[in-house]
């Protein structure tokens, strides 16, 4: 990788950094930072219970079969339930790398705007409506 490619990767919105500490003499890894974006298991469970299905437009996969992702990409996205939604790796990559813009709204809905300007709104599961 040349310097221009390294700068391109380093400056992308979705780049994640880890601190690696090496022994200055031997060169072997001494320590490394943990993931700054790890979502605690109880929070994942709450997000999946609130949503029941994946929150990408047109997808009805049950949330229990998904990963939990930030709606707003890191570092902008907060690791709290208001900015988390269930999703698969494929849709997460689509959201992050193909021009989708996403935002959570006060009512729990997620507004996703596709690369061509199409807008899609998904809503969390309505516990009061068993037929929802």
Cα dihedral sign, 57-81-9-18: negative
Q: What percent of the chain has pLDDT over 90?
A: 6
Domains of the chain: which residue ranges? 3-32, 41-122
Tokens representing 70?
């930030």
What pLDDT, on the 0 to 100 scale, is given for residue 118? 93
In this predicted model, which residue has the larger pLDDT, 19 or 119?
Answer: 119
Integer Cα distance of 24 and 99 in angstroms: 42
* pTM recorded for the entire structure: 0.61
- The residues, ordered by sequence, that sit 6+ positions from 87 with a Cβ below 8 Å of its Cβ are 54, 55, 56, 66, 67, 68, 69, 95
CA distance from start to end of the chain: 50
Q: pLDDT at residue 117 above 90?
A: yes
Mean pLDDT throughout 72-80?
69
Mean pLDDT throughout 61-85?
79
Q: pLDDT at residue 25 above 80?
A: yes
- The residues, ordered by sequence, that sit 6+ positions from 77 with a Cβ below 8 Å of its Cβ are 70, 71, 83
Mean pLDDT of the chain: 79
What pLDDT, on the 0 to 100 scale, is given for residue 32? 66
Q: Point out which residues pair with 31 in neighbouring strands.
A: 21
């Amino acid at each position: 990788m040349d310097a221009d490619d390294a700068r391109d990767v380093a400056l992308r919105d979705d780049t994640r950094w880890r601190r690696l500490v090496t022994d200055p003499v031997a060169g072997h890894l001494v320590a490394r930072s943990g993931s700054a974006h790890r979502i605690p298991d109880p929070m994942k469970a709450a997000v999946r219970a609130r949503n029941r299905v994946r929150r990408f437009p047109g997808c009805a996969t049950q949330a229990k079969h998904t990963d939990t992702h930030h709606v707003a990409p890191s570092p902008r996205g907060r690791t709290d339930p208001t900015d988390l939604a269930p999703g698969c790796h494929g849709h997460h990559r689509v959201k992050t790398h193909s021009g989708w813009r996403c935002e959570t709204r006060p009512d729990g809905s997620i507004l996703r705007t596709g690369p061509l300007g199409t807008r899609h709104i998904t809503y969390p599961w309505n516990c009061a409506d068993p037929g929802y």
